[in-house]
Amino acid sequence: MRASKIDPVKAKKTVRFGAVVVFILILVLSVKPFYVLNEGQTAIITQFGEIVKTETEAGIHFKMPLLHQVHRYTAKLLRIDGDPQKILTKEKQFIEVNTTSRWRISDIRKFYQSLVTYEGAYSRLSDIIDSSVRDIITVNSLDDVVRSTNNINETVHQEQFGLNTDEVKLEEGTGSEKVVYAAIEKGRDVLAAEILKKANMQLEDFGIEVIDVIFKEIKYSDELQVSVYNRMIKERNQIAQTFRSTGEGKKAEWLGKLENEKKSILSKAYSESEKIKGTADAQATAIYAASYGKSPEFYSFWKSLEVYQNALPDTEKILSTDMEYFQYLYKH
């Protein structure tokens, strides 16, 4: 069987064609005509700085090599922490406020045209949010900044000291003035909503939307801290005084009960002792009567000796021995 001959001309053409194809593939791949968009990303395609189109679907997408540029941005929520700043409240009290916010890109075209990069976005956000916080806090009271409700005046302060809440009435006066806090007009949550609205109005042209503004930390000035601590001490002292008064009342109540019980016991004991004493006296009288009946002279003699024993040691007068009183001492 004869082997088929390879045409040298055709072989050269085939090699040349393969080389051209490989070169074209290498050239195409080197200029990167495809790009990958991950989940949670959006992209803007520009040509010579002008926006050609936007892409929001994840996957592999085509672009014109050398002409199109891809700018990727996240569609997820981002966070920015505000700079701590000292702000003067409506009452001319300085407080240090620290906020944090969540934001997202709401219009990618406006974002690219006005800011382009995240660095520019963070700088703009910081300026606008911080200024909005200052503007809102300056025209509102300190109580509105630090509190959200008026529950502090409605809550009955009950301390857990093992006492029945019916026994200790902290809201009842103990001779001291009750601490009453000023009622708020708006509250911290309302102020945060006003700050959010004011900031979003300024950020709309930049394609940015702030989702929320949260007060992360509020610090009082040194002078204000002293005032707050004094008010807290005053309230604690009032509560302590209430418990002391309640304790003194309970003490007096129990002492009264003990005294009444003591008197009752003593009265009962005295009654029993008098009863026993009466019985004993009756028995003694009966014995004396029986003895007297048996020997009247001995009985008289014995009673006289008892009288001598009780009366003579304390007698300082001179008595005559002829008295009938001494008949048993000087009997002739």
Listing DSSP states for 177-225 in one string gives: PPP-PPPPSS-HHHHHHHHHHHHHHHHGGGTEEEEEEEEEEEEE-HHHH
Domain ranges for the chain? 13-74, 78-149+184-220, 295-332
> CATH for 78-149+184-220, among 3.40.50.300, 3.40.50.800, 1.10.3210.10, 3.30.479.30?
3.30.479.30
Mean of pLDDT over the chain? 79
Chain Cα centroid distance, residue 100: 21
Which one has a higher pLDDT value, 25 or 173?
Answer: 25
C-beta separation of 54 from 108 below 8 A: yes
pLDDT given at position 5: 60
For residue 319, what pLDDT band results from cuts at 50, 70 and 90?
Answer: low
Range ranked top by mean pLDDT from 60-69, 185-194, 237-246 = 185-194
If DSSP codes are grouped into helix, strand and coil, which group holds residue 51?
Answer: strand
Q: Which of 150, 152, 224, 161 is nearest to 184 (CA)?
A: 150
Long-range contacts of 289-292, Cβ-Cβ distance < 8 Å, separation of 24 or more: none
Which residues, at least 6 apart from 128, have a Cβ–Cβ distance to it below 8 Å? 199, 202, 203
The predicted-structure confidence for 177-189, as pLDDT tens digits, reads as follows 555 667 788 889 9
The two tokens of residue 264 are 């009752």
Which one has a higher pLDDT value, 297 or 130?
Answer: 130
pLDDT given at position 321: 58
Mean pLDDT across 310-326: 62
Mean pLDDT across 50-77: 85
Residue type, 175: G
Mean pLDDT across 225-230: 79
pLDDT given at position 110: 93
pLDDT given at position 173: 47
Q: Around Cβ 204, how many Cβ atoms within 10 Å? A: 13
pLDDT given at position 163: 47
Mean pLDDT across 135-153: 85
Mean pLDDT across 151-163: 53
Which residues, at least 6 apart from 205, have a Cβ–Cβ distance to it below 8 Å? 110, 114
Q: Are strands 85-88 and 59-62 parallel, antiparallel or unpaired?
A: unpaired
d(CA 26, CA 18): 12
d(CA 60, CA 35): 6
Which residues, at least 6 apart from 102, have a Cβ–Cβ distance to it below 8 Å? 77, 78, 79, 210, 211, 212
Residue type, 202: Q
C-beta separation of 319 from 326 below 8 A: yes
Rounded percentage of the chain residues whose pLDDT exceeds 70:
71
pLDDT given at position 21: 66
Residue type, 45: I
DSSP code at position 38: -
